[in-house]
Structure 1
Amino acid sequence: MKIGYAPGAYDLFHIGHLNILRHARAHCDRLVAGVVADDVLELTKGRRPVVPLAERAEIVRHLSIVDDVFVETQPDKLLTWQEVRFDVIFKGDDWRGTPKGDRLERDFAAVGVEVVYFPYTVHTSSTLLRRALASLEAPVDSHAGRATG
């Protein structure tokens, strides 16, 4: 049985998240989605998620393509592997050829875990959704009905 692991924030769940999980499911027998804890996201990305961990994990847990959810409470994927024991880890191809991706490949090659990349959904991302939400929150000039600032 091939166990796959698809880590992510899964904040502001969108089609890019669904695409990664669907692709991952097609490449393994059992899919574990790693949902990164709020504190770890703040440490690694410099910001807290919009949707709290319990809610993000609950959303992902209820997808029929996901067999289990693992909450990542620390950033070291090798420590996560020691607990979950997956055979393949899935990432978006925005990691391919980057220092982080190269390190991930090197670290997992040493323990026999394959790294598989899937296309990153360029037109939709949590970062873009955050920007859209921020623009909606901009102060509105009540006389002109437009955002100010």
Structure 2
Amino acid sequence: MIIYTVGTFDLLHVGHLALLEYCKSLGGVLAVGVASDRVVNSYKPNVPVIPLDQRMEMLKALRCVDIVRPYDELEYVSGCKELNADVFVIGEDWGKQPHNLAVESYLKSAGKQIKQVLYNPRTSSSLIKKNVRSQPYYESKLNIVANN
């Protein structure tokens, strides 16, 4: 069985680990799609701070992850088809955008499963970034770097 999930995976944290370990617990091979910066820029206000190749490298190092692949278009059907995914795992913020509806339709017609999971409330990349920006030394360090 092949489990497939997708995300940005910027600033890898315990929420990411919980998701990936849950996916792996479903059994079989875990494949992870990692959004390129271009994809992220199309739907998020904050761009990743970690480059795509480094985000992929960190994911490949996790024992629960078997396959890591980038994706450069905001669509998931091609990844599910290429991997012959049996289960596609999505987050709680899954909406009714056309790219989401397309993969739901494909999975249903192919007799595949889609599982939705709740996010780990302990952390998020956005929260980490916000906390870093609020540090008193953050702005002074930026000024030092900018002036050099």
Q: TM-score, normalised by structure 1?
A: 0.82
Could you give the per-residue CA deviations for residues 43-66 of structure 1, whole angstroms, max 9, x where no partner exists? 122432010000000000010011
Contact 2:15–2:120, Cα closer than 8 Å, also in 1 = yes
Task: Tell me how far 1:105 sits from its aligned partner.
Answer: 3.2
Q: How many residues align?
A: 137
Flag structure 1 segments of 5+ consecutive residues without an equivalent. 141-149
- Residue 24 (structure 2) pairs with residue 25 (structure 1): yes
Task: Tell me how far 1:30 sits from its aligned partner.
Answer: 0.6
- Residue 114 (structure 2) pairs with residue 115 (structure 1): yes
Provide the secondary structure at the position in 2 that maps to 1:99: coil
- Residue 50 (structure 2) pairs with residue 51 (structure 1): yes
Give the AA of the match of 2:67: D
C-alpha separation between the residues in 2 aligned to 1:17 and 1:52?
17
Q: Give the percent of matched residue pairs that are identical in Structure 1 and Structure 2.
A: 29
Flag structure 2 segments of 5+ consecutive residues without an equivalent. 142-148
Taking only aligned residues, the RMSD between alpha carbons, in angstroms, comes to: 2.0
2:90 aligned partner:
91
Task: Tell me how far 1:92 sits from its aligned partner.
Answer: 2.2
C-alpha separation between the residues in 2 aligned to 1:84 and 1:46?
30
Could you give the per-residue CA deviations for residues 57-89 of structure 1, whole angstroms, max 9, x where no partner exists? 000001001111011111110122222221101
Deviates further, 124-133 or 79-88: 79-88
Task: Tell me how far 1:130 sits from its aligned partner.
Answer: 1.3
Any residues of structure 2 matched to 1:1-149 within 5 Å, and which? 2-95=1-94, 98-100=95-97, 103=101, 104-136=103-135, 137-138=138-139
Give the AA of the match of 2:32: A
Q: TM-score, normalised by structure 2?
A: 0.83
